[in-house]
Structure 1
Amino acid sequence: MEVKMYTSYDRIKAALEHRTLDRIPMTESMWPDTIKRWHKEGLPEDKDVMEFLGLDVICGIHPFDDGLSDAFPYIVYEETEEYKVDRNYYGVKVKYWKNRYATHIELDHAVKDRNDWERVKWALYPSEERITKDIVETSRKAREKGHFITLNCSEPYWFSFKMLGMENLCVQLKIDPEFIEDICTRYMEFLREMLIMTVNKGLEWDAIWFFSDMAYKNGPMFSPSDYRRFFLPHHKEISQFCKKQGKFLLLHSDGNMRELIPSVIEAGFDAIQPLEARAGNDVRIYKEQFGKKICLFGNISADILATGNRQAIEEEIRSKVLIAKEGGGYIYHSDHTIPSTVSLESYLFAVECAKRYGGY
C-alpha cells in the first residue's frame, strides 16, 4: 500500500481545519544566536535548519511597508561597535545592540498625541511602491516546495503600538479614545487597499498572520471590553476578507491571552500562537475550553527545553501533545522563539518526542 507523503501545506491546513493526517504539523522559530550555537554543535552551515530538523515550513512573507517614511525619513543618530541609535519609519528613536540579540530600547516617540498624529497621518497611504519586491516569485518558489505561505503584517493595534509605544497607547485608550479610533480607522483603510493590491499581483498565499503582542505575563494590555470596542471590528473585517478567498487568519500574541481568547474567536481568527507557557497559558486546559473553535499553536516551554533534562522535556511534550492533538486543531511549536540556551541535542530530542506522540 502506497504511503501518502504530506507537505507542510497539507498538515498545517488540516490542523487549521481541525482535521488529522499522518501527524501533527510541527514548525519552529529560532533566534539568530541559537543558529550560531547550533552550527558549533553539528548543524551544517549549508543546511536549512528546518530541513535538517525535519519540520514543516511556514514561509512568512512581509508583503508591504506600512511605515510613515514620507513623514519620518530614516536617520542614524549614533553608531558604535556595540550599538546603533536611529529613528525608524514610525518616528521612534531606537537603540539596537549589534553583537547580541536583545530587546531594543525605545528612547522617544515623535507621535505622542492627537496633534502629532494629525500632522503625519497623511504619510500613511496605499501605494504599489510599498509592495515587497519579488513577492510573487518568493511565493511561487515556496508553493513548489509545499510550504504553507503567510502574509505577515500588522493590524490596527500593533501599528498604534509601534508608533506610540506600549505605555502611551494604553494611556491614550483611556484619556483620548477617539484618537485611537482614528488611528485604527486610518490604518484599516490603508491595510484594506494594500491587501487588495498585493493579492491582485497574483501571489500564492494561504493565510494572513497578524503579529501583535496584546498581553504580558499577567494578562492583556487592555480590557476585553477595550478589545471589543477598538480592535475586534477591524479583525473581523480581515477575517471575512480571508474567508471569502478560502484563506485563514492567524494571530501571534505573547503574554497570557486567556481573557482575550473568547473575543479572538469571535473576531474570526483560525489559530492563536505561541501560547507562552511562562505567562500561564496551558494548551491542556485551552484544548477543553476552546479547542473546537480555534487551532492552538505552540505552548511547548522553551525554559524546559533549555534545561537539557530529557525526562522533563519528554514529559512536557507528551503531556501536552497527547491532549492537544485530539481531533486535530494543534500545531507544535515552542512557546515563543527558541533561545540560545537550548542545545541542538535537546531540540533534536524534542522533535523526536513530538513525532512520537504527535502521530495519528
Structure 2
Amino acid sequence: MTSKERVRAAFEHKTPDRVPATMQAVETAWDKMKEYFRVETQDEVMDILEIDTRIMDIPPYIGNKKPDYVNANGEVVHTHPFGQRYVEKWNGVEYNNHTIWRPMQHVETMEDFLAFHDWPDPDDFDYEAVKRFCDKHKDKAIRIGWPGPYQVFLEMYPAEQFYMLMADEPDLVKAMLNRYSDFYMELYERMFEAGDGAIDLIRPCDDYGTQISLLFSPQMWDEYFAENTKKLVQLAHKYGCYYLQHSCGAVRPIIPNLIDCGADGLEPIQKVKGMEVDSLKRDFGDQICFQGGVDTQRLLPFGTPEEVRRETEYIIETMNVNGGYILGPSQDFEGDVPVENIIALYDARKKFM
C-alpha cells in the first residue's frame, strides 16, 4: 500500500498492511530531530520515521501585512492574517505566541457585529501553493485544515465574552460563527479545487474539552456548532475527502454528536477520563476512525523508550482492529520529548508488520 492508500483504508475501516502514522511537532522538537538524524528538513525526518501524512493547515498568506511595532513593554507586536495581535514570549524552551488584542473584542451587540467588516479574506491566500504541495507528495495522504467552527474564532473574539454571550445573546453568537464559517468554507473549497482530488483529509481545529469535562453540554454543542460542522463535513465529502475532527480534552459525550454530523475521525485522543482507548474502540470504533493517543503530557517527556513502546503497542492492539486507527501522539511533540521516545513510538509498529 502507498501511504495514501493506507490512511484511506483506516478511514474505511479496512485492515491496512500496517498501521498508518502521522506526526506534528513544535519547531524545537523538529530541530532536535533534524540534529539527531543529521538531516536538513522535516520531510527527511518524516521519511526516516515512515510517516504517512503530509500537512498544510492553510495556504501561505499573500495579503497585505500590517507592520510590526513595539509596545510600551518593549515587546515586538505582530499582527496575524486573521487580525489578532500577539507577542512572542520565551517559556524556557521556546517562544510561544500570546494574543494581546482581538479584532472583534469590542463587539457586544448585533449592531456592533453588523458594523464589523475586518474578516479574513479568502483572496489573501496562495492556492497555487496547495497544488505544488500535493504534487510534491503524490504518494502521501494530504491533510489540510485549521479553522473550524469554534476554536480559532476565539483568536478573533475574547473567550470570556463569548461564553457570556452564549447564555445572554445566542442569536449574536450564531451570527458571528456563521459569518466566520463563510470565510473558512470558501478558503477550504478553494484548497480542494486547487488540490484537484489529491487532498485526503481535512482537520478543523476545535478544542471542545478541558482535561476533566466538556466546555459545553452536548445540547449546547448541538445548538452552536453542529450546523457548521455538518457544512464542513458535506464540503469534505463533496471532494472525496474525510473529515477528521480535532479536539483535545474530555470530549467523549459529544462523540455521538460528531458521528451524527458525519465526522469520519477524531483526534488526538488525550489521556484523560472518558477517553480510554479500549472503551472508545468498543463503543465507537465501527463508526469513527481514531488518531493519536500516545500521551505527550507524562509518558513521552518523562517515560523511557521501553515504556513508550509498550504503551504504543497496547494502543495499536486495541485501536487498530479492522482499521479505524492512525498512530500518533496525543498532541504535537513538544521540545521536552526525547527523540529516543519519538523513535520508540513509531518503532512500536514493527511488532504488527
Is the 2:53–2:143 Cα contact (8 Å) retained in structure 1?
no
**Aligned partner letter, 1:17:** E
**1:17 to partner: Cα distance:** 0.7
Unaligned stretches of 5+ in structure 1?
Answer: 1-5
Is 2:130 the counterpart of 1:138? no
Is 2:218 the counterpart of 1:224? yes
Task: State the partner residue of 2:87.
Answer: 95
Is 2:99 the counterpart of 1:106? yes
SS in 2 for 1:21: coil
CA distance in 1 between counterparts of 2:284 and 2:22 reads 21
Find 1:241's aligned residue among 235, 238, 260. Answer: 235
Task: State the partner residue of 2:183.
Answer: 190
**Aligned partner letter, 1:141:** K
Task: State the partner residue of 1:160.
Answer: 153
SS in 2 for 1:85: strand
Q: What does the per-residue CA deviation read over 1:216-274, in whole Å, with 9 as the maximum and x for residues that have no partner?
A: 21122222111101110111122122223322111111111112211111111111111
Matches within 5 A, 1:302-313: 302=296, 303-313=298-308
Q: Aligned in 2, Cα 1:216/1:126: closer, same or farther, shift over 3 Å?
A: same
**Aligned partner letter, 2:288:** I
Moved more, 7-16 or 197-206: 197-206
CA distance in 2 between counterparts of 1:236 and 1:210 reads 12
The two structures have a TM-score, normalised by structure 1, of 0.86
SS in 2 for 1:169: helix
Is the 1:126–1:193 Cα contact (8 Å) retained in structure 2?
no
Aligned length: 346
**1:322 to partner: Cα distance:** 0.6
Q: Aligned in 2, Cα 1:245/1:89: closer, same or farther, shift over 3 Å?
A: closer
Task: State the partner residue of 1:265.
Answer: 259
Task: State the partner residue of 1:350.
Answer: 345
Task: State the partner residue of 2:270.
Answer: 276
Q: Aligned in 2, Cα 1:60/1:196: closer, same or farther, shift over 3 Å?
A: closer
Q: Aligned in 2, Cα 1:42/1:276: closer, same or farther, shift over 3 Å?
A: same
SS in 1 for 2:204: strand
**1:280 to partner: Cα distance:** 5.6
**Aligned partner letter, 2:253:** E
Is 2:38 the counterpart of 1:77? no
Q: Aligned in 2, Cα 1:56/1:127: closer, same or farther, shift over 3 Å?
A: closer
Find 1:27's aligned residue among 22, 35, 38. Answer: 22
Task: State the partner residue of 1:290.
Answer: 284
Find 1:17's aligned residue among 8, 12, 17. Answer: 12
**1:129 to partner: Cα distance:** 4.4
**1:309 to partner: Cα distance:** 1.9
Q: Aligned in 2, Cα 1:304/1:247: closer, same or farther, shift over 3 Å?
A: same
CA distance in 2 between counterparts of 1:123 and 1:227 reads 27
Q: Aligned in 2, Cα 1:192/1:349: closer, same or farther, shift over 3 Å?
A: closer
Q: Aligned in 2, Cα 1:194/1:342: closer, same or farther, shift over 3 Å?
A: closer
**1:356 to partner: Cα distance:** 1.4
CA distance in 2 between counterparts of 1:180 and 1:76 reads 31
Is the 2:83–2:120 Cα contact (8 Å) retained in structure 1?
no
Aligned residues with identical type, % of pairs: 21
Task: State the partner residue of 1:3.
Answer: none
Task: State the partner residue of 1:329.
Answer: 324
The two structures have a TM-score, normalised by structure 2, of 0.87
Is 2:115 the counterpart of 1:119? yes
Unaligned stretches of 5+ in structure 2?
Answer: none
CA distance in 2 between counterparts of 1:191 and 1:279 reads 32
